[in-house]
Structure 1
Amino acid sequence: MERARTAPLMLPTQEEAALWAAARAGDVAARGRLIDAYLPFARIMAARQYAARVDYDIEFDDYLQYATVGLIESVDRFDPAYGNLFKTFAAHRIQGAVANGLEQLSEKRVQIATRRRLLAERRDCAATALGAGADLFQQLAEVALSLALGFTLEDAAGSAQAGAEAPPHPYGALEMVQLRARLQALVAGLPPRERLVIKSHYLNHLPFNQIADSMGISKGRVSQLHRSALEQLRKSMHAMRACDLAW
């Protein structure tokens, strides 16, 4: 049953030649017929790359999806007038489509995992600062405020590297520009070690353990410097009384 499902669909030579000619002339039905005929070939190519995988976190369906994309691109670009076999032409493109797709997928997964780890560190840092005596509402409020300030710091750091997209409302755009400028100035005014922790964490997206290694201190000390920096920034912004966030 599996063999029947994955075996390539054999087209008579004359029929396939007619389909290629029709597809090159813009016949959508002929194009679809060719794609259907070679889908089992794309599946075989995906299975080969899946069998040779080193990253076991990615499912076969992802391999098959990218192989199918490569097959469709091959059908659209193949010209039988050059005398090449379609499978030879398509094999390299299918392999490349799978490799490129998996690379982008892996980068996205790494970014998501890094983002989650950074957020978890900030949340734990805020909760730890309160100690066991704090009530639940105070803990939730502290964590929320710390995360809000963290998001604003990331936005300010990103806007310093590249022009950020302005909000649709002109007053909102001006407000955000002012907020980013104030935060950047306040960060620049932090003590050197606190400033280094904030820039490393929010601008370079480094977790606390990597910051600790680079500074030659413990991860716990980095967490303390992070809490101290956020507290100083919150007090400074509260004193300025010109911020949208509720401190």
Structure 2
Amino acid sequence: MSARTVPEAPLQREQPAASASARRSPAAPGEAAGRRDGEGDVGAGAEPPAAPGAPQAPGRSGDGPARGERRSRGADARALTQVLFQEFVKLEPGSPEHTRVRSALIEANLPLVRYAAARFRSRNEPMEDVIQVGTIGLINAIDRFDPDRGVQFPTFAMPTVVGEIKRYFRDNVRTVHVPRRLHELWVQVNGASEDLTVLHGRTPTTAEIADRLRIAEDEVLACIEAGRSYHATSLEAAQEGDGLPGLLDRLGYEDPALAGVEHRDLVRHLLVQLPEREQRILLLRYYSNLTQSQISAELGVSQMHVSRLLSRSFARLRSANRIDA
């Protein structure tokens, strides 16, 4: 049994004394129910799903056939939803009949979810996932809806569906979590940027956006940066178009010899302060790797004297060392 024919049997049992107009058209029970609930416009000018072949009222001047057909399908869905809810509120939650009518309500209002999800096509997220999240919001709206309040179900359900989708994008899609205030401000910055682009015929500057929203330029820059946090670029991904290697290959690294640059500069500065003979002894000992005996033979002095000169040079170097001081 399809979702369009689900409510007809119980509806006919509840209204055995239908009027002549109700016997001529299956739409009469739904219309009468709509008037009792204060929703007389639902189904007033459209045939319900049970009679899809019935002639439709002509649209306004200038409406094309496709537009009139979409309006007719929307009216059919509203009328069917109204009839289903009248039966739904009378059923015991958890019963098979309650589950059946609930499923029919979900199926009848899936076009509402698709309409809401289409607003988020620019987010580069699979539309199937967005529709699934919106369907969760639709189910929550069905469970909370009260037909006696006189509000049409699409009017009640749309904020719930859109809110569920926005919550999904805010909490699950972004690679980097952005504070809620910054996310909401980013929406305003995006809208102001589009308005200023149309007004000036060019991309607005940060100062113009900040002046339009009366906020600081730093906040505008933070919002623009937050808008890029939906998808992170892989460090190993090659750059498209320019033929350059990935970001990881172009990132700097810590050179292990970097610390030696400062040390060599310091040694050079300290060595020039020593006498020439002590400079030569240090060079022979630590750059030519000669022993003290070989140095003594090279300079014609005793080994003991070479040792004393080395000790005195070290003492002078330590006293003049800026780092140790």
Category of TM-score, reference length = shorter chain? 0.3 to 0.5
**Structure with the higher helix share, 1 or 2:** 1
Scaled by the length of structure 1, the TM-score of the pair is: 0.38
Instruction: Flag the structure with larger Rg.
Output: 2
Higher RCO by CA contacts (8 Å cutoff, separation 6 or greater): 1
The TM-score, its normalising length taken from structure 2, stands at: 0.31
